[in-house]
């Protein structure tokens, strides 16, 4: 770094100190609080809260919801990125905007929209009641709301990379006799696999940790429609703080693992993965 | 058949069948539109349609209710304030991360992403535990200054800063990283002081990114739910946020009112983001 | 393999500026043809249409006598070397070359041992057998070019398309590679189409050169014809380097601003353009009867001559002289041959010795 653009040493030190203090207060302290609150009475009560049946069923449900929402958004995200990056068609910019739309919608509204369609007073409410199909306050509602909230993640991480890589390799593959699927699996996918993995990880972290959207459609039926974050809320409201923070610690760990994996991927590929997507 | 006609025919057919160099547009676009339509567009259409079930006067009555107005004031006010606070804070973090080398820099860089990865409910619980009157931070603040943070609007504000700050940092950081030092060096050779250089060279270059970060942070904060409801205390007229009102209306089986509040939130947020977009365009005018 | 292109039109949505406007040309089997033109003249579009990467709005393309309007790129068996090579960056050099064989339908796919043998053979052909295990980012530009060529040849195409394939190479390597590619073309009995904006490259490599301007082929001839008899002012300007002078025709007399004029039968009244190659412009010491000028610079050139830039009024002309002149020295210009184009594209070649006395 050149001298002219160097800041005075005292200023550097001051700014670094300030940033570190704020980082501790804003980012590190909450994280530490989760784990210390969970272990306030030792490790045994925390473990108990985690292996308790309601907690286990919440975990199962969370995994199940993510197991549907993440593949759906991966498929959609890959298809959208392929179409947008490799072809020209009118309305492309609008399509990109619409795909990113769910990011600017409040999680609560993301749940609300499905209540408006499938709820008791919703468009299909009466029909669903007649046919004894439950969507809101049941698994399908949780899956839908989660899918909405995590909708853009994969597309947002893949699209910039695929646009940057252009179409030349795919065109070369075509002139060499490769078909559509061969081109996709042998040329396109290997070029974006790390970004795809990054997008899937972020999508998964958000899917498992989503709170507002599933709170609206869940109905809080313990052991049936409670995902992990909802289970945390219930425990907290019942003043079972250790249990709440113990389950919260698991979710925090999921977040930390995701961050670490993302950092690792970025290190490998020397390319940022837009987590803020 | 004339030669011209035979020459033209295959081309027309080619165009009609949408001949393209690469295969798969139909399939991928079909999947995309089905995915987008079923998950996002149709449900959002429901949000746009549902409120009018209670008529315009009904919608107006819902929105002009004092409790709803108070919640909107809190949600939008706190979100805007949080975005404003994250301007200098985000600039500080981005500057320190991109310009300085010090032990712990990489950790700091990773830590900044925490709010993206930490489930909102977990963040909410954690901040409540920290800032409550008996919390690590709340207790000393209460003892020393008599401040109470949790269950007050300021608690909401702090939670939203936590949510909005990373957007600011991650918007500014790449621009700051790519900003060639030559510009600053040139300014220095032209006799500018360091402050003049920062003010006249660096800050204008960062302005579009700052606006982007502001918009992203605000957009996320205004609809935030999980991080806020634990620390807010949720007192009507005081610390009740707009998304919570939607939940409340739904619990009262008042779907139309919930939809009206949701739609109003979206429209208002959209207008603010539109204004930011115009501001950004104005800031960028004349630039490539 | 012969190629026929008949009245091909391609329009990218802006009707005012179609990329191709009724292009017709035919390549004979075994011929090496260059498409030469400035950027935006439509040459790459034409190449992409032949490759099956783009499709014409009107017109017909026949490759080996077969109408390929409905044949997608993957079924054309046309070899393409892309501008930036478009190597598969996640595959080794070996796998890049093997790709075209591996993606064949199962029934036509060679066995692995056969693929291995063929790829080694191709890498030996392009003289980089040792690079097989490397990745594209680990090899030099010239080597990538060879990989791209080997990859294109792996599918045993009879038509080879080269899209500005030498642009990314530095000047020294480029000369070698050009010669070598042309040699390969002859040895393998290919039909090749080279897209380039470099006239030297086109002249050196091709049997015939098609000059493109704004979506049209304005001349399609062997290199020497382009030099000796450019079909239009555009070709004269683009091919070889020539001094250009604005002129006008009045009453059968051609006037070049600053030089006077001479009789010009065959040119219509109105504006005209004059082209004089530096080789046809002799710079002499001042002499009566020749146009006077001032030397701006002179530098030694081949065969003991000196190349000079001479100012005549507003004009700047390059020519050759037998000796050096001082900067600013007075001199005389002798036109040995020039070509004039009339307002509607009429071409008149003028023997300078006849015209010269009146140019002053």
Contacts of C86 in chain A (CB under 8 A): 168-169, 171-172
For residues B34 and B114, state if they share a domain: no
- The residue-averaged pLDDT of A134-149 equals 93
Q: Give the C-alpha distances (Å, rounded to integers) separating C347 from C263, C266, C350.
A: 14, 8, 10
**Selection from C33, C19, C78 nearest residue C51 by Cα:** C78
- Is residue B260 included in any domain, yes or no? yes
Are C218 and C225 spatial neighbours (Cβ–Cβ below 8 Å)? no
- The residue-averaged pLDDT of C326-351 equals 85
* Model confidence at A108: pLDDT above 90: yes
CA gap A131, B232 in Å, rounded: 41
* Nearest Cβ partner for C104 among A172, A174, A177: A177
| 3-state SS, one letter per residue, for A136-180 | CCCHHHHHHHHHHHCCCHHHHHHHHHHHHHCCHHHHHHHHCCCCH
Q: Tell the residue number behind the tokens 């707009």, with chain if given.
A: B242
- Is residue B8 included in any domain, yes or no? no
How far A43 CA sits from the closest chain B CA (Å)?
18
- Is residue B5 included in any domain, yes or no? no
Residue A50 half-sphere exposure, CB side, CA atoms within 13 Å? 14
Closest C-chain CA to B4? C59
Last residue of a domain, one of B34, B54, B74: B54
Q: Mutate which of A16, A71, A215, A265 to test chain B, going by most B C-beta atoms within 10 A?
A: A16
Reported as a single tens digit per residue, the pLDDT across A78-90 is 999 999 999 988 9
* Model confidence at C269: pLDDT above 70: yes
* Nearest Cβ partner for C86 among A171, A178, A186: A171
CB-based contact A255 B122, cutoff 8 Å: yes
B234 pLDDT band, cuts 50/70/90, is confident
For residues B83 and B161, state if they share a domain: yes
Per the prediction, chain C carries an average pLDDT of 88
- The residue-averaged pLDDT of A55-68 equals 95
For residues B257 and B134, state if they share a domain: yes
Which DSSP letter does residue A223 get? T
Closest A-chain CA to C95? A186
For residues B94 and B119, state if they share a domain: yes
Q: Would the pTM of this model clear 0.90, i.e. be above it?
A: no
- Is residue B10 included in any domain, yes or no? no
CB-based contact C72 A174, cutoff 8 Å: yes
- Is residue B16 included in any domain, yes or no? no
Percent of chain B predicted with pLDDT > 70: 92
- Is residue B14 included in any domain, yes or no? no
- Is residue B30 included in any domain, yes or no? yes
- Is residue B3 included in any domain, yes or no? no
Q: Which two tokens stand for residue A155?
A: 């597309």
Per the prediction, chain A carries an average pLDDT of 90
For residues B30 and B152, state if they share a domain: no
CA gap B39, A110 in Å, rounded: 10
For residues B121 and B47, state if they share a domain: no
* Model confidence at B4: pLDDT above 70: no
B19 pLDDT band, cuts 50/70/90, is low
B177 near A CB under 8 A: no
- The residue-averaged pLDDT of A28-48 equals 92
- The residue-averaged pLDDT of A69-81 equals 96
Q: Dump the DSSP string for B204-273.
A: HHHHHHHHHHHHHHHHHHHT--HHHHHHH---TTTT--HHHHHHHHHHTT-HHHHHHHHHHHHHHHHHHH
- The residue-averaged pLDDT of A160-187 equals 92
Q: What are the residues facing C321 on neighbouring strands?
A: C283, C306
Reported as a single tens digit per residue, the pLDDT across C107-137 is 999 999 999 999 999 999 999 999 999 999 9
For residues B33 and B87, state if they share a domain: no
Q: Give the total number of structural domains in chain B.
A: 2
**SS3 at position A220:** coil
* Nearest Cβ partner for C57 among B6, B11, B23: B11
Burial (CB < 10 A; 0-12, 13-18, 19+), residue C210, is buried
Query: In this structure, how many other beta carbons lie within 10 angstroms of the beta carbon of residue C122?
Result: 22
* Model confidence at B10: pLDDT above 70: no
Query: In this structure, how many other beta carbons lie within 10 angstroms of the beta carbon of residue C339?
Result: 20
* Model confidence at A30: pLDDT above 90: yes
Percent of chain B predicted with pLDDT > 90: 60
Q: Which two tokens stand for residue C14?
A: 């802006």
* Model confidence at B266: pLDDT above 50: yes
Last residue of a domain, one of B7, B35, B54: B54
pLDDT at A223 (0 to 100): 65
For residues B39 and B134, state if they share a domain: no
* Model confidence at A275: pLDDT above 80: no
CB-based contact B23 C72, cutoff 8 Å: yes
Are C26 and C4 spatial neighbours (Cβ–Cβ below 8 Å)? yes
CA angle A24, A29, A32 (to 5 degrees): 125
Question: Among residues 156-195 of chain A, which lie with CB inside 8 Å of chain B?
Answer: 167, 170-171, 174, 179-180, 183-184
For residues B42 and B147, state if they share a domain: no
* Nearest Cβ partner for C90 among A168, A171, A191: A191
Please say whether the dihedral angle defined by the alpha carbons of residues B131, B137, B143 and B144, taken in this order, is positive or negative: negative
CB-based contact C155 A190, cutoff 8 Å: no
Reported as a single tens digit per residue, the pLDDT across B146-188 is 888 888 999 999 999 999 999 999 999 989 988 877 777 777 7
Query: In this structure, how many other beta carbons lie within 10 angstroms of the beta carbon of residue B122?
Result: 31
For residues B41 and B88, state if they share a domain: no
pLDDT at A3 (0 to 100): 57
Q: Which residues contact A154 (CB under 8 A, 6 or more apart)?
A: A73, A74, A76, A77, A78, A81, A196, A199, A200, A203
Residue B99 half-sphere exposure, CB side, CA atoms within 13 Å? 27
Q: Which two tokens stand for residue C67?
A: 């109408």
Strands C281-284 and C66-67: unpaired
Reported as a single tens digit per residue, the pLDDT across B83-132 is 999 999 999 999 999 988 999 898 898 899 999 889 999 999 999 999 99
A225 pLDDT band, cuts 50/70/90, is confident
Burial (CB < 10 A; 0-12, 13-18, 19+), residue B287, is exposed
* CATH number of domain containing B250: 1.10.3720.10
Closest C-chain CA to A177? C74
Q: Which two tokens stand for residue B47?
A: 């949000």
Q: Give the C-alpha distances (Å, rounded to integers) separating A17 from A5, A46, B92, B99, B103.
A: 20, 35, 11, 14, 12
- Domain extent, residue B45, equals 22-54
For residues B140 and B261, state if they share a domain: yes
- The residue-averaged pLDDT of B197-209 equals 86
Burial (CB < 10 A; 0-12, 13-18, 19+), residue B159, is buried
* Model confidence at A15: pLDDT above 80: yes
C94 near A CB under 8 A: no
Are A38 and B129 spatial neighbours (Cβ–Cβ below 8 Å)? no
CB-based contact B21 C48, cutoff 8 Å: yes
CA gap A36, A46 in Å, rounded: 11
Q: Terminal CA-to-CA distance of chain B, rounded, Å?
A: 53
Q: What are the residues facing C162 on neighbouring strands?
A: C81, C194
Burial (CB < 10 A; 0-12, 13-18, 19+), residue C156, is exposed
Contacts of C7 in chain B (CB under 8 A): 7
Q: Which residues contact B30 (CB under 8 A, 6 or more apart)?
A: none
Are A213 and A148 spatial neighbours (Cβ–Cβ below 8 Å)? yes
Please say whether the dihedral angle defined by the alpha carbons of residues A220, A222, A228 and A232, taken in this order, is positive or negative: positive
CB pairs under 8 A between A and B: 293
How far A89 CA sits from the closest chain B CA (Å)?
10
Contacts of B92 in chain A (CB under 8 A): 15, 18-19, 22
* Nearest Cβ partner for B250 among A105, A106, A216: A216
CA gap A202, A194 in Å, rounded: 12
For residues B45 and B147, state if they share a domain: no
Are A258 and B117 spatial neighbours (Cβ–Cβ below 8 Å)? yes
Q: What are the backbone angles phi and psi of residue C41, rounded to the nearest 5°?
A: -85, -5
CB pairs under 8 A between B and C: 39
B191 pLDDT band, cuts 50/70/90, is confident
């Amino acid at each position: 770094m050149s001298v002219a653009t160097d800041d005075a040493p005292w200023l550097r030190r001051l700014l670094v100190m300030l940033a570190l203090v704020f980082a501790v207060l804003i980012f590190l302290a909450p994280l530490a609080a989760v784990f210390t609150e969970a272990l306030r009475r030792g490790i045994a009560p925390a473990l108990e809260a985690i292996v308790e049946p309601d907690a286990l069923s919440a975990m199962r449900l969370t995994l199940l919801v993510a197991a549907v929402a993440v593949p759906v958004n991966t498929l959609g995200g890959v298809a959208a990125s392929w179409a947008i990056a490799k072809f020209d068609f009118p309305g492309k910019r609008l399509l990109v905007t619409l795909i990113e739309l769910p990011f600017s919608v409040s999680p609560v509204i993301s749940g609300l929209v499905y209540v408006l369609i499938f709820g008791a007073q919703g468009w299909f409410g009466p029909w669903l009641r007649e046919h004894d199909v439950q969507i809101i306050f049941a698994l399908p509602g949780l899956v839908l709301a989660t899918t909405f909230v995590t909708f853009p993640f994969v597309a947002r991480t893949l699209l910039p990379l695929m646009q940057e890589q252009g179409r030349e390799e795919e065109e070369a593959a075509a002139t060499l006799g490769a078909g559509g699927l061969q081109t996709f699996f042998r040329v396109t996918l290997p070029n974006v696999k790390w970004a795809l993995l990054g997008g899937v990880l972020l999508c998964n972290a958000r899917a498992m940790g989503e709170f507002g959207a599933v709170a609206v459609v869940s109905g809080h039926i313990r052991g049936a429609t409670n995902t992990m974050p909802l289970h945390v809320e219930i425990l907290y409201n019942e003043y079972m703080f250790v249990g709440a923070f113990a389950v919260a610690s698991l979710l925090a760990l999921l977040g930390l693992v995701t961050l670490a994996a993302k950092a690792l991927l970025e290190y490998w590929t020397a390319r940022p993965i837009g987590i803020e997507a | 058949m004339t030669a011209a006609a035979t020459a033209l025919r295959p081309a027309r057919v080619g165009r009609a069948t949408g001949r393209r160099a690469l295969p798969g547009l139909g399939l991928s676009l079909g999947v995309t539109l089905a995915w987008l339509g079923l998950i996002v567009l149709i449900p959002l259409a429901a949000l746009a349609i549902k409120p009018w079930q209670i008529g315009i006067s009904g919608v107006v009555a819902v929105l002009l209710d004092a409790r709803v107005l108070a919640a909107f004031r809190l949600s939008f006010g706190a979100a805007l304030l949080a975005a404003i606070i994250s301007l200098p804070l985000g600039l500080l973090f981005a500057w320190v991360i991109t310009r300085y080398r010090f032990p712990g820099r990489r950790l700091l860089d990773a830590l900044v992403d925490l709010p993206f990865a930490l489930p909102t409910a977990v963040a909410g619980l954690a901040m409540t535990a920290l800032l409550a009157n008996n919390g690590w931070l709340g207790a000393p603040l209460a003892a020393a200054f008599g401040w109470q943070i949790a269950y007050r609007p300021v608690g909401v504000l702090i939670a939203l800063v936590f949510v909005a700050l990373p957007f600011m940092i991650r918007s500014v950081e790449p621009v700051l990283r790519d900003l060639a030092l030559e510009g600053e060096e040139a300014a220095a050779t032209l006799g500018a002081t360091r402050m003049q250089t920062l003010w006249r060279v660096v800050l204008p270059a960062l302005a579009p990114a700052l606006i982007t970060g502001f918009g992203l942070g605000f957009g996320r904060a205004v609809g935030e739910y999980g991080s806020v409801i634990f620390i807010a205390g949720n007192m009507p007229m005081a610390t009740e946020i707009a998304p919570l009102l939607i939940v409340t209306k739904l619990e009262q089986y008042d779907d139309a009112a919930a939809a009206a509040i949701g739609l109003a939130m979206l429209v208002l947020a959209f207008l603010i983001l539109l204004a930011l977009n115009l501001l950004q365009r104005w800031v960028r005018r004349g630039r490539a | 393999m012969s190629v026929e292109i008949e009245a091909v039109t391609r329009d990218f949505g802006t009707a005012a500026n179609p990329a191709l406007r009724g292009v017709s040309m035919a390549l004979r089997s075994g011929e090496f043809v260059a498409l030469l033109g400035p950027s935006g003249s439509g040459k790459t579009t034409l190449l992409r249409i032949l490759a099956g990467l783009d499709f014409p709005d009107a017109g017909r393309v026949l490759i080996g006598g077969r109408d390929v309007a409905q044949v997608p790129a993957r079924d054309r068996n046309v070899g393409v070397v892309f501008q930036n090579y478009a190597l598969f960056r996640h595959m080794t050099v070996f796998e890049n070359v093997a790709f075209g064989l591996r993606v064949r339908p199962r029934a036509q796919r060679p066995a692995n041992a056969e693929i291995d043998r063929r790829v080694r053979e191709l890498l030996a052909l392009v003289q980089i057998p040792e690079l097989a295990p490397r990745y594209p980012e680990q090899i030099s530009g010239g080597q990538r070019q060879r990989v791209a060529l080997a990859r294109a040849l792996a599918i045993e195409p009879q038509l080879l398309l080269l899209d500005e394939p030498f642009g990314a190479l530095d000047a020294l390597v480029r000369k070698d590679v050009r010669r070598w590619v042309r040699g390969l073309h002859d040895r393998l009995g290919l039909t090749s189409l080279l897209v380039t904006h470099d006239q030297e490259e086109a002249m050196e490599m091709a049997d015939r050169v098609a000059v493109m301007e704004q979506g049209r082929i304005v001349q399609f001839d062997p290199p020497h014809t382009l030099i000796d008899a450019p079909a239009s002012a555009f070709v004269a300007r683009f091919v070889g380097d020539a001094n250009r002078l604005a002129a006008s025709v009045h009453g059968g007399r051609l006037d070049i601003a600053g030089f006077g004029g001479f009789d010009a039968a065959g040119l219509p009244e109105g504006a005209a353009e004059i082209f004089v190659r530096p080789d046809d412009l002799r710079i002499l010491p001042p002499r009566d009867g020749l146009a006077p000028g001032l030397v701006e610079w002179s530098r030694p050139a081949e065969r003991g001559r000196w190349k000079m830039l001479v100012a005549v009024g507003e004009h700047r002309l390059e020519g050759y002289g037998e000796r050096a002149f001082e900067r600013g020295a007075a001199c005389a210009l002798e036109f040995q041959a020039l070509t004039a184009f009339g307002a509607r594209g009429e071409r008149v070649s003028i023997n300078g010795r006849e015209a010269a006395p009146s140019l002053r």
